Structure 1
Amino acid sequence: MAEAKKAPAPAESAEAPKPKRNIVLYVVIGLLVLIVVGMTAVAGYLFFALSATQTYSEPVASEAGTEEGHEGDKASEKKKKKKKDKANPEAPPVFVKLDTYTVNLQGGGSVLQTEIHVQVIDEKQKELITGYLPRISSQVNLLLSSKKAEDVATLEAKVKLMDEIKNAINRVLGARDEEDGVMSVEFKTFIVQ
């Protein structure tokens, strides 16, 4: 009987290393799963990151003939044109001469005479400004005649006036951003008497 008890003991000791082999196998399989999941996550991130930049740089073609497609095409053309203009700093600026304005300033006795030029992004905007010139001139006249001589005497006041004129013109044009309307206002002459 003593021999019978000793025989099962070596069988148990032979089975003991088997669970260690199973643990190592599970660890290796777990690491492989983690590596595959990590690589999949990186590949997904790169896919979405590259497709997002492609979406912004190259618009996806929409159905032909729909208004949304035309608006998307116009927006993409405008973005391409902006990039082209910014990429070519050697292109000469486009200016539009507004009228020569002579207005009586508030407070009596002072007269302001100025010739104004505005800078726009391209020839198309120049034509738009020309089409709205009567309304633009009216708004600029009203703005200039609302000032006092003291309001336009300093350099800072003139710069502020340039910004006010730009905003008034862009309101007339319905411009949403600088590239839709006037980019800057320049005084060719500025005389207060």
Structure 2
Amino acid sequence: MAEKDKKEDVKEAKPAAGGNNKLLLVVIVLLVLVLAAVGGLGAYVFLSNKSAAGADAGHAAAEHAPEKKEKKEGPPVFEKLEPFVVNLSGGSSMLQIELQAELYDEAAKNNMKAYLPKIRSALILLLSAKTEEELQSADGKIKLKAQIKKIINESMDAGEEEPVENVLFTSFIIQLQ
């Protein structure tokens, strides 16, 4: 009789073990879903706090990653520079050029006025180093515009910020001597 009871216990244990496997599987799936939800919530909270902390940090965030200024409303701000007349490299021709800088805002225009002697000096050095051949083509003029913009921004100690958005030629004459 004891053997019979053991066999019945074994028979009962087998179906119960199958039920436990299904229950264990359900618990594991639920546990994975709960962990995924908690992880998603944690990521959301972390990223929300990070952006809020970045807004609170203000200057510290600006030092590490400069923000682009939003496009201003209204007409563009221009500052006309006095004409430049320089001997081109090679000595056989002269360049007479007039240009205007398109600036981000009035504050940038006022700042540029403060740096004009430094800007003019740097531009004279740049222009006098050019050759007639470099400046004859449209590509040469476009390259020169980019170089002038870079020099003006650097002369104004602007760092990553670029107060000069564009440079426009209003007169461009190469004169052979």
Percent identity (aligned): 34
Match of 2:56 in 1: 60
SS at the partner of 2:69? helix
Match of 1:45 in 2: 43
In structure 2, which of residues 163, 168, 174 is the aligned counterpart of residue 186 of structure 1? 168
Shift in Å, 1:54:
4.6
Q: State how far apart, in whole Å, the 2-side matches of 1:109 and 1:4 are.
A: 121
Greater mean alpha carbon deviation, residues 44-53 or residues 165-174: 44-53
1:114 maps onto 2:97 in alignment: yes
Unaligned runs of at least 5 residues, structure 1: 62-68
Match of 2:132 in 1: 149
After TM superposition, list the pairs within 5 Å mapping 1:1-193 onto structure 2.
Answer: 5-6=3-4, 9-55=7-53, 59-61=55-57, 71-72=59-60, 79=67, 82-83=69-70, 85=71, 91-177=74-160, 179-193=161-175
Shift in Å, 1:188:
0.5
SS at the partner of 1:13? helix
Question: Of the two structures, which has the highest relative contact order with CA contacts closer than 8 Å and spacing of 6 or more?
Answer: 2
TM-score by length of 1: 0.73
Shift in Å, 1:99:
1.0
Greater mean alpha carbon deviation, residues 157-166 or residues 126-135: 157-166
Shift in Å, 1:17:
2.8
SS at the partner of 2:81? strand
Q: State how far apart, in whole Å, the 1-side matches of 2:150 and 2:80 are.
A: 17
Number of aligned pairs? Answer: 173
Q: Residue 102 of structure 1 contacts residue 114 of structure 1 at CA under 8 Å; is this kept in 2?
A: yes
Residues 170 and 19 (structure 1), Cα distance of their counterparts in 2 relative to 1, 3 Å cut? same
Cα-to-partner distance string for 1:131-184 (whole Å, 9 max, x where unaligned): 01111112212222222322322211111222222222222122323x433222
Shift in Å, 1:97:
0.8
Paired letter, 2:106: E
Q: State how far apart, in whole Å, the 1-side matches of 2:2 and 2:97 are.
A: 120
Paired letter, 2:130: K
> RMSD in angstroms over aligned alpha carbons?
2.8
Greater mean alpha carbon deviation, residues 99-108 or residues 120-129: 99-108
SS at the partner of 1:26? helix
Paired letter, 1:155: A
Cα-to-partner distance string for 1:13-50 (whole Å, 9 max, x where unaligned): 34443333333332222222222112212222333344
Q: State how far apart, in whole Å, the 2-side matches of 1:7 and 1:154 are.
A: 104
Q: State how far apart, in whole Å, the 1-side matches of 2:85 and 2:46 are.
A: 59
Unaligned runs of at least 5 residues, structure 2: none
SS at the partner of 2:102? strand
Q: Residue 125 of structure 1 contacts residue 180 of structure 1 at CA under 8 Å; is this kept in 2?
A: no
TM-score by length of 2: 0.79
